[in-house]
Amino acid sequence: MTRYLAKRAGQMALTLFLIVTLTFFLVQAQPGDYATFYALNPDLPAEVRAQLKESFGLDKPLWQQYLVHMKNTFTGNFGVSFGHFPRPVMEVLAERLPRTAVLFLTATAVSFYIGFFLGKAIAWRRGGVLEYAATISGATLFTAFTPAFGLMMIWVFAFKLGWLPVGKFLDPLIWRGAEVSANHVFSYMLVTGAAFIVFAFLVLFFFRRSGRIGPAPLVAPIIGAAALAIPVAWGLSDIGFLALDILRHMILPIVTLTLISFAGTMLLTRNSMLETMREDYVMAARAKGLPEKVVRDRHAARNALLPVVTSLVYSLIFAIDGSVIIEGVFSWPGMGMTLLDAVRSEDLPLVMGSMVFIGLFSLLAHVIVDVLYVYLDPRIRYQ
Amino acid sequence: MITPQPDHHVVIGGPSGSPEPPLVDLHPGRSQMAMARARLALRSFRGGWAIFVESRIGVLSLATIVLFALMAISHPILMATVWDAEVYDPVTGYAFDRLEHPSPPNWRHPLGTDPLGRDVLSQLLSSTRSEFILGITAALVTVGIATTVGAVAAYYGGLVDSLFMRLADLIIALPGISLLIVLSALFKLNLFYLALIIGILGGFGGTAIILKSQALSIRVKPYIEAARVAGGGHSHIILVHIIPNLLPLSLLYMMFTVTGAIFAEAVLSFLGLLDLRMSWGIMIHTANTGGYLLGGTRYWWLIVPAGASITFLCSAFYLVGRALDEVVNPRLRRHTA
């Protein structure tokens, strides 16, 4: 396993190298000269311009520029953003990456769970009303024009019903007198969320029982108590209402992203289940007289999960693209919106930086899925 | 091209030199071979069609695609006959007969006019054509590349294989829409370049991997062995035996590529990043930049026709693809044939 991980890390580094090379030459290949474009930007004072020109080697031949670019990228120096001048690209990205990660990971996890659950159910009762309803609504949501769908969600839940805020990350009216920054509160929220997930996993791990269905009787109360304690603790702290504001802004983008991406998993699980249900061991399980639910969940669904996890890579990439669009629509200031703004204002250093980070993000997701696969399928042992 | 050749018969059964007709024709001429192939293709098409028709969703989606194709054809006809170009041109037209724009649907403009006074129905119909051109171009490029790459990689294996597969891994690791957004920042993308880029990315990416794995299972079939024993060269085996057997699966992935291409175009146009005259995405973009989208149902004709068209055409191609999947992949069928 360690050797496999090392090998994957090596491959990842190589792929990342190729992505950086690709972005460099794409920028070089665009009409107009990047060097002049960078150096003639009127927003930059003369001394900064000279300094930048030197640090990026813009006066040197192309191959030297390429080497300098490579070195800068891997030391985390993407230059200074035009649009957010004088903040370095790295600082802008470091602020926005967690926001995207939360949006994206929550939506992916929820949509995977819902998709797998529904796919299992509709394959088991093939030809029922549920199958038609779920297939048609799922495929419609899956192929729905994401921006229009997002705007529709805003219109219904924010304008008509007024339940949730329209967009953006926070409400300036609530934050006017606040003494802490949004990033500060958000990082505390991240830590709380991560701690809760780790805690829940540990509880499930220690109370697991072999050969039985469902969790042990103690699990639900313990996790429930923790889930209750968190809002109480936050409510008692003096930044609780600020966190609530961020949370309220998060709901609509996450729900929208979940709705557009669960269908892919659902339809795939259905197909995978249909294939598994024909296997002899499912018939054997039925013949033994096991309850339907056990046959479905333990014998069929457990094996049908494998191809679904394989394709999780594709759905992750789909979700990354989806979150770029969703961020644009909801003005959620994460990586996707940074990329869109940078593209619109021709902020090339920020465009290149975001692209490298989005690439890195998807590469990491790729590796995690591969490792998960080994865990799920004991037949596979990577060399 | 089939050139007529003198038929060369090997006769089994009758004594040599007898005037009786041969019982078994072991070495048919090329024209007969082609006939037999065509008959076989027709038969497998009929069989496939029978399975396809079983899926009600598939038939309904196919009907939707045909409807959109009719819409695409109707635009030039309407422009040539009843619609005056000054009023109804999708980009430069102006509806002089209405005082306010956007104006709600009426008899002269069945779907109303947009904020710039252009007829929405005309925009919708003319965009349909460009969506089809985009989708089909992208799908043909994708499948052309992916089928070739898949067949070649599976047949030769070794270095060629790992080169193409690593390239595919690299491409699927990149989120496509984000990459297109970056590309649109650097270059002016029109419909043709967009189709080409989507096609190339799809063709060297995920589709190539899937077609290669199918080609691998074809490569070990006995008829490939037979062709090799009979003296068939590499290119002959790839072109005559592997690629034709890949085509059903290629057709399936064409459908998915069309969905992806139309979707990508719509998103990029909506964000205002493409260099196009008119498209469904641009229609929504125009409404959005004018601030009409959050008017909700009040200006529904600015968003519903274009939004619904994108959704319906994308899901129609996607669902036809899924119905084809049941034809191509026997394990998904309800009844075993």
H or E segment and range at residue A207? none
Structure-token pair, residue B159: 């270095």
Chain A residues close to B322, C-beta within 8 Å: 139, 267
Instruction: Examine the domain organization and report whether A279 and A164 are in the same domain.
Output: yes
A153 with A263, same domain: the answer is yes
* Residue B113 bridge partners (DSSP): B119
Average pLDDT score over residue span A272-287: 88
What would the pLDDT profile of B63-80 be if each residue is shown by its tens digit?
Answer: 999 999 999 999 889 888
What are the tokens at A303?
A: 């094996």
Q: Is residue A83 part of a domain?
A: no
- The answer to whether the peptide bond before residue A42 is cis (omega within 30 degrees of 0) is no
Residues of chain B positioned with their CB less than 8 A from the CB of A339: 178, 181-182
Do A274 and A352 lie in one domain? The reply is yes
Closest chain A CA to residue B187: A30
3-state SS, residue A145: coil
The Cα–Cα gap between B31 and A247 comes to 72
Rounded mean pLDDT of B250-268?
Answer: 88
Phi/psi for B310 (5° steps) reads -60, -50
The DSSP code for A165 is: -
Tell me, yes or no, if B169 comes closer than 8 A to chain A by beta carbon: yes
In this structure, are A192 and A228 located in the same domain? yes
Nearest by CB to residue A339, choosing from B57, B174, B181, is B181
Interface of B with A in 121-150 (CB under 8 A): none
CB atoms within 10 A of CB A10: 10
Dist. CA A82–CA A342, nearest whole Å: 9
- The yes-or-no verdict on residue A166 having pLDDT over 80 is no
What is the pLDDT, as a whole number, of residue B1? 38
CB B10 within 8 A of CB B42: no
> What are the pLDDT digits (tens) for B261-278?
998 898 899 888 888 888
What pLDDT is stored for residue B6 in this prediction? 42
Domain residues for A64?
Answer: 2-74
Query: In this structure, are A374 and A265 located in the same domain?
Result: yes
| Amino acid making up residue B167 | L
Q: B193: which chain A residues are within 8 Å (Cβ-Cβ)?
A: none
Determine contact, residues B278/B191, Cβ cutoff 8 Å. no
Confidence of residue B5 (pLDDT cuts 50, 70, 90): very low
Nearest-neighbour CA in chain A from B140: distance (Å): 21
Å from B27 to nearest chain A CA?
42
Arithmetic mean of pLDDT, B242-255: 86
The residues that bridge with B119 in the sheet, in sequence order, are B113
CB-based contact B325 A271, cutoff 8 Å: yes
Q: What is the mean pLDDT of residues A180-203?
A: 82
Confirm whether A130 is domain-assigned.
Answer: yes
Q: Does A153 lie in the same domain as A274? A: yes
Q: What is the pLDDT of residue B135?
A: 93
Contacts of B61 in chain A (CB under 8 A): none
Selecting from A143, A155, A351 the residue whose C-beta is nearest the C-beta of B311 gives A143
Asked if residue A120 and residue A66 are part of one domain, the reply reads no
pLDDT band of A209, cuts 50, 70, 90? low
- pLDDT level of residue B16 (50, 70, 90 thresholds): very low
A263 and A141 part of one domain: yes
A232 with A262, same domain: the answer is: no
**What pLDDT is recorded for position B140?**
94
The verdict on B323 touching A (C-beta cutoff 8 Å) is: no
Best B166, B170, B174, B297 residue to mutate vs chain A (most A CBs within 10 Å): B174
Residue A67 has pLDDT above 90, yes or no: no
Looking at per-residue pLDDT, the higher value among B68 and A75 belongs to B68
Q: B57, B186, B312, B334: which to substitute to probe chain A, counting the most A Cβ within 10 Å?
A: B186
Percent of chain A with pLDDT over 70: 90
Residue A40 binned pLDDT confidence (cut-offs 50, 70, 90): low
- Asked if residue A85 belongs to a domain, the reply is no
Q: Determine contact: B186 vs chain A, CB below 8 A.
A: yes
Q: Tell whether A106 and A58 lie within a shared domain.
A: no
Across residues B310-324, what is the average pLDDT? Answer: 87
Is B331 in Cβ contact with A142 (below 8 Å)? no
Point out the least confidently predicted range of A18-27, A59-68, B1-10, B188-197: B1-10
H-helix or E-strand spanning residue A332: none
Q: Answer whether residue A87 is part of any domain.
A: no
More confidently predicted of A156 and B195 = B195
- What is the pLDDT confidence band of residue B196, given thresholds at 50, 70 and 90? very high
Spatial distance between the Cα atoms of B55 and B326, rounded to a whole number of angstroms: 9
Ramachandran angles phi, psi of B16, nearest 5°: -60, 140
Q: Do the chains contact at B267 and A325, CB–CB below 8 Å?
A: yes
pLDDT of residue A245: 80
Q: What is the mean pLDDT of residues A64-84?
A: 78
Q: Is residue A350 part of a domain?
A: yes
Using alpha carbons, select from A30, A131, A159 the residue that is nearest to residue B183.
A30
Q: Searching chain A, which residue's CA lies closest to the CA of residue B270?
A: A147
> Across the interface, do A275 and B206 touch by the CB < 8 Å criterion?
no
Which of A377, A307, A371, A359 has the alpha carbon at shortest distance from A123? A307
- pLDDT, one tens digit per residue, over A114-159 is 999 888 888 888 777 888 888 888 877 877 788 888 888 888 888 7
Residue A80, classed as helix, strand or coil, is strand
Retrieve residue B179's tokens: 């990459």
| pLDDT score, position B67 | 94
User: What average pLDDT does this structure show over B21-33?
Assistant: 63
> How far does B175 lie from chain A, in Å, by closest CA?
5
Nearest CB among B187, B325, B331 relative to A30 is that of: B187
Residue of B nearest to A268 (CA): B322
Mean pLDDT of the A366-382 span: 72
Res. B131 pLDDT band, cuts 50 70 90: very high
Q: Is residue A80 part of a domain?
A: no
Tell me the average pLDDT of chain A: 80
Reduced 3-state DSSP string for chain B: CCCCCCCCCCCCCCCCCCCCCCCCCCCCCHHHHHHHHHHHHHHHHHHHHHHHHHCHHHHHHHHHHHHHHHHHHHHHHHHHCCCCHHHHCCCCCCCCCCCCCCCCCCCCCCCCECCCCCEHHHHHHHHHHHHHHHHHHHHHHHHHHHHHHHHHHHHHCHHHHHHHHHHHHHHHCCCHHHHHHHHHHHCCCCHHHHHHHHHHHHHHCHHHHHHHHHHHHHHCCHHHHHHHHCCCCHHHHHHHHHHHHHHHHHHHHHHHHHHHHHHHHHHHHHCCCCCCCCCHHHHHHHHHHCCCHHHHHHHHHHHHHHHHHHHHHHHHHHHHHHHHHHHHCHHHCCCCC
**Between B149 and A314, the higher pLDDT residue:** B149
Q: Give chain B positions within 8 Å (CB) of A252.
A: none
The DSSP symbol for A298 reads: I
**Number of structural domains chain A divides into:** 3
B235–A contact, CB cutoff 8 A: no
Residue B14 has what pLDDT? 41
pLDDT band at A363 (very low <50, low <70, confident <90, very high): confident
Q: Taking CA atoms, what residue in B is nearest to A24?
A: B186
Euclidean distance between CA atoms A69 and A49, whole angstroms: 17
Residue range B132-147: average pLDDT?
93
pLDDT confidence band for A72 (50 / 70 / 90)? confident
Of residues B130 and A37, the one with the higher pLDDT is: B130
Tell me which chain B residues have a C-beta less than 8 angstroms from the C-beta of A315.
Answer: none
Region B250-254: mean pLDDT is 86
Residue A172's Cβ-count burial label (10 Å; 0-12, 13-18, 19+) is exposed
Of A273 and B9, the structure prediction assigns the larger pLDDT to A273
Candidate from A135, A145, A340 with C-beta closest to B266: A145
Q: Rg (Cα) of chain A, in Å, rounded?
A: 24
Count of positions (residues) in chain A: 383
Asked whether residue A377 is domain-assigned, the answer is yes
Residue B134: the pLDDT is 93
pLDDT at A177 exceeding the cut of 80: no
Chain B interface, best mutation among A143, A273, A337, by max B CB count within 10 A: A143
Residue B71 confidence (pLDDT): 92
Whether residue B178 lies within 8 A of chain A, CB to CB, comes out as yes
The token duo for B189 is: 């993308």
Give the model's pLDDT for residue A318: 77
In this structure, what token pair is assigned to residue B333? 């069928």
Q: Could you tell me if A163 and A306 lie in one domain?
A: yes
Of the listed ranges A19-33, B96-110, B155-169, the least confidently predicted one is A19-33
- Exposed/middle/buried for residue B188 (C-beta within 10 Å: 0-12, 13-18, 19+): exposed
Decide if A159 and B296 are in contact by the 8 Å CB cutoff.
yes
How close does chain A come to B239, measured CA to CA in Å? 30
Q: How far is B13 from chain A (nearest CA, A)?
A: 47
Nearest CA in chain B to A127: B334
Longest Cα separation, chain B: 93
CATH number at residue A310: 1.10.3720.10
Residues A304 and A377 in one domain: yes
Q: Provide the pLDDT for residue B336.
A: 44
The verdict on residue A61 lying in a domain is: yes
Answer yes or no: is pLDDT of B7 > 50: no
Contacts of B7 (CB under 8 A, 6+ apart): B28, B29, B32
Mean pLDDT of the region B5-32: 52
* Over residues A189-196, mean pLDDT: 84
Enumerate residues 299 to 318 of chain B having a beta carbon within 8 A of any beta carbon in chain A: 303, 306-307, 310-311, 314-315, 318
A151 contacts B294? CB cut-off 8 A: yes
Residue of A nearest to B189 (CA): A30
